[in-house]
Amino acid sequence: MARTIEQLRKEVLTANIEIFRRGLAQFTFGNVSGFDRERGVVVIKPSGVPYAKLTAKMLVACDLNGKVARGALRPSSDLPTHLVLYRAFAGVNAIVHTHSPHATAWAQAGREIPCFGTTHADHFHGSVPVTDAMTAREISGDYEANTGHVIVRRFKGIDPLQVPAVLVRSHASFVWGSTVGKAVEYADVLETVARLAMETLAINPKAAPIAQPLLNRHFLRKHGPGAYYGQPGMK
């Protein structure tokens, strides 16, 4: 049985509260959305509402063109970015945008997060990329949609399901997953590996990235064909 819009609202509400609880979002920063591809419905946090005040009925439901179907509040100003990514990345059904401190520091520095170890490799099949700087025309135009287009361009040649995160230069991170829960998990892991990468370089500024065979083994044993990590049927 397909889930209802109200069920999706509850999932997205839980995820928004969770990123706040985990310290990935402060005040009104950030947002989580979920996409029901069967119904063509996106549910997202409303703009500027503190996490502590959020309720399921406040969440905004719209179609892939941004036309609001349910909800009295304005959707997140980042909605156009989410919509671009949903249209471009098949298999992505949830997006998390946060300004978590360590990941945001890498974005502000304009540097990708190198994969130094297996903690990173268990979740991201390589470095977490950083976008090009947005042009003045992109910024003065349809800024939020253009943010999505900059991300999509950066992923030319990269499988977004194998590297489910990006750093938008001078901004912050966008992370995604096949489910709302997975997207939140990846957002949390991204902040961890961003911090670990900083600490690795502080200890050894010449640290080398993980060897490719070890990177492949750790990622593929969890996510590849014939993956054997974990228990069958457990999410």
Tell me whether residue 60 is in a domain: yes
Q: Give the relative orientation of helices 180-203 and 101-109 as an angle to the nearest 10 degrees.
A: 70
Q: Which residues are catalytic?
A: 122, 229
Kindly report whether the global pTM for this prediction surpasses the value 0.85. yes
Q: How many domains does the chain have?
A: 1
User: Which two three-digit tokens encode residue 188?
Assistant: 């949390």
Q: What is the DSSP track for 116-155? A: -SHHHHTT-SSPBPBPPPPPHHHHHSSHHHHHHHHHHHHT
Q: What is the pLDDT of residues 17-66, one digit of tens each?
A: 999 999 999 999 999 999 999 999 999 999 999 999 999 999 999 999 99
Query: Residue 10: which domain range?
Result: 5-112+126-185
Tell me whether residue 199 is in a domain: no
User: Which two three-digit tokens encode residue 56?
Assistant: 């399921």
Query: For position 49, which CATH number holds?
Result: 3.40.225.10
